Structure 1
């Protein structure tokens, strides 16, 4: 790593070092997620594990509401303004994100108190929802400042350390036979620890002072800028969790637990496709201006991603029974068949992730929004028909249809862009 930083262009060396740290952090998070899922699945059993997964699904549907004023707005603003105004930019972004996060948390707690969901799911979600107070207002704002410096190492180290400590605490609570609803508060504690560590790092870099200030004009700008991207991301995450939301209305929590166990592993496998796209995007897509070269790069990336995802899915398909038994235990044997089918979703998911790079490169926000609205609508329609007939397998068909729709929109946009 030191040799890398000493050689060549310092900006390139810094970006490559960032990629290495990003890859290490993603692999750590994937490993920790699998370990924690295995611990909880064995301890809670399929029924309560299904409730735990459903509570997490609800959180991941609610949380994107707090993503107002995303990094695509905050980072360029930090870069374009003089360093003396960084505190004002961060303070205004923090005020907006904290306001939205507090509102989202209050509404979530009111909804739980109204009894509109299973009592255990509500208790689990009550702790998990507190993460919204720390993720975007603290972690997101400071991380945007770090991104503007092309230096994400502090945030990545804090995330890795917190994830490992969280896994140890989950193990401890399992050994102590803690109540199922107590685990949600560990996720809130993890978010608070990361947010506190990043805040302290920022203050250490600024003379032990925070120096964040509120500016009304910036606040209004942040509230309106990036709205299309924001709504598009909300639609994307709703699409990704729609299978469990609709499946929960048709099957027991025990059956949902089996489906969620398979999908938990599959989503970590698909995360590798997203990590791959994030890693190669700057060099092979974002920085390429020549049309012919970009077209060649995209063809190679599509072929490489398809080959990697197909090979990986074939191996996971063959080892499904062994993997499910080792991670979740014998009570989840029926999840192996679902996992065998689910892993093949990585092929359209990977293809979609590569095509999406061109949409992001040219900031085609309305294409992004239209794509996920279409995918959401198609997945909903397919789920409505397929889930009552095939339950978990019907939910997988809905996801596959949504991914194919999203990839098709990407291909149409790429073809249109290359033609014009």
Structure 2
């Protein structure tokens, strides 16, 4: 064990995990602080519009994830060091083209939606600023981060992300104190993405003798455009499923009620992220590096049991503290969020079980299973929402999410049983 810890690769990996954990905790704390601040300042109605604009952004953003890390990082590792500039340059041009097109389409559709009365003008104004993040996240931050991941050294990106998150929170506070228009806040997220992208580009140039040295290779560009397409579509379906509840609720409840629902769900999503981060941190050693089918099946069973226990324990605590948490973070105007939050925290159980089962799908790069799974989850959630939301409102959306998670987990279990036949 001591020899393993002294191994430079193991030391780098452990340090990377520590920095990743710090960054995630910082982002969660900042997200909760900002949400509480904006919820009190905006009020439920405007906060609902803010959350809906963010939902639209999170649904649109996966479009820019072409040539994901699962394609780019192995390409960097397997190519000679002299070709690094060509690999990164080709990936950058592809991502920038897709991101710029996605931004223009978003602005165009938003303008048409406002003109036809389909989109609320304030939602459109908020989305206009938020959408600019797409121009910086994947082309700049994503490409440099893939290079850092290939070296198992994500500290520069994680440290920059933590510092800018704290700075963004401070700027949000200043805008609130200045009684700024709600539409202006979205541009802070665009500024944050631009700063992170700029800092990482400067770091890369510094590490390479003051020169960027990026080039375009057309054959590599075509490879990046086609490779990983199935994974890309699967991720789009996954994010659409995760935000489908808010997209469908917007047509059946007021923005004020949507704001109360989103307040509860944002806290719940942060809890799920924090809990899953702990479980997934140990996954590489117990899933990705295990080749014996019997041992892998045993490990997955133990991880599922551990995650389920963790989620159930956390859900019990959060259920009991729901009133205290909601009132402290969002204030008295969000009393209706308490009961929603108490039900929502139990979604962490199927979400956690699904995430652990998904590790086996990723281990064997079963891209069509991934796509089929999220297509099924999306279809199931859509049908359940279509029936339940008009009758039960926000609680109907929770039922839709639960049904989707169970459908996705069922596909995972079927694949594990099929793939690990012993």
Same fold, TM exceeding 0.5?
A: yes
Alignment of 1:220-239 (within 5 A): 220-239=222-241
Query: How many residue pairs were aligned?
Result: 417
- Asked if the contact 1:50–1:253 (Cα under 8 Å) also holds between the matched residues in 2, the reply is yes
How much does 1:272 deviate?
1.7
Paired position in structure 1 for 2:79: 81
Find the aligned partners of 2:204 and 2:328 in 1 and give their Cα distance. Answer: 42
Structure 2: tracts of 5 or more residues without a match = none
Structure 1 residue runs without a partner (length 5+): none
- Is this contact kept in 2: 1:146–1:152, CA < 8 A? yes
Deviation per CA, 1:359-406: give whole Å up to 9, x if none. 000000000000000000000000000000000000000000000000
Please tell me whether residue 16 in structure 1 is matched to residue 14 in structure 2.
yes
Q: 1:112 aligns with which of 105, 110, 114?
A: 110
1:244-277: CA deviations, max 9, x gaps?
Answer: 0000000110010000000010000111233124
Return the alpha-carbon distance in structure 2 between the equivalents of residues 315 and 267 of structure 1: 16
**Partners of 1:230 and 1:147 in 2: CA distance:** 19
After TM superposition, list the pairs within 5 Å mapping 1:29-48 onto structure 2. 29-48=27-46
CA RMSD in angstroms comes to 1.2
The aligned counterpart of 2:26 is 28
Structure 1 counterpart of 2:313: 311
| Equivalence map 1:124-273=2 (5 Å) | 124-273=126-275
Equivalent-residue separation in structure 2 for 1:275 and 1:87 (angstroms): 32
The equivalent position to 1:393 in structure 2, one of 374, 392, 395, is 395
The separation in 1 between residues aligned to 2:275 and 2:217, in whole angstroms, is: 39
Aligned to 1:405: 407
SS in 2 for 1:419: coil
Give deviations 1:171-230, integer Å, cap 9, x for gaps. Answer: 000000000000000000000011111111111110011111111000000000000000
- Structure-2-length-normalised TM-score: 0.97
Structure 1: how far apart are the matches of 2:84 and 2:3?
Answer: 26
SS at match of 1:289: coil
Tell me how far apart the structure 2 counterparts of residues 103 and 273 of structure 1 sit (CA, whole Å). Answer: 36
C-alpha separation between the residues in 2 aligned to 1:102 and 1:176?
Answer: 32
User: 1:347 and 2:345 equivalent?
Assistant: no
Q: CA deviation at 1:6?
A: 10
Aligned counterpart in structure 2 of residue 382 of structure 1, from 381, 384, 394: 384
1:64 aligns with 2:70: no
**Shift of the alpha carbon at 1:12?**
1.0
CA contact under 8 A between 1:383 and 1:398: conserved in structure 2? yes
* Other structure's SS at 1:158 match: helix
3-state DSSP class of the match of 1:208? coil
Shifted more, 114-123 versus 32-41: the winner is: 114-123
Contact 1:324 1:332 in 2 (8 A): yes
Runs ≥4 residues deviating over 4 A: 4-7
Work out whether residues 280 and 356 of structure 2, in 8 Å CA contact, stay in contact via their aligned partners in 1.
Answer: no
What is the rounded CA distance, in whole Å, between the counterparts of 1:93 and 1:219 in structure 2? 7
- Aligned to 2:365, the other structure's residue is in SS state coil
Query: Structure 2: how far apart are the matches of 1:322 and 1:122?
Result: 33
SS at 2:185 equivalent? helix
Q: Distance in 1 between matches of 2:3 and 2:169?
A: 32
Query: Once the two structures are superposed, what CA deviation does each residue of 1:310-346 show, in whole Å capped at 9, x if it has no partner?
Result: 0000000001011000000000011000000000000
Q: After alignment, is 265-274 or 346-355 more displaced?
A: 265-274
Task: State which drifts further: 8-17 or 164-173.
Answer: 8-17
CA distance in 2: counterparts of 1:362 and 1:7, whole angstroms: 28
Mapped partners of 1:414, 1:296: distance in 2:
11
SS of the equivalent of 2:215 reads coil
| 1:269-288 superposed matches below 5 A | 269-288=271-290
Going from structure 1 to structure 2, the CA distance change for 1:277 and 1:96 (only over 3 Å counts) comes to farther
Q: d(CA) in 1 for partners of 2:148 and 2:34?
A: 29
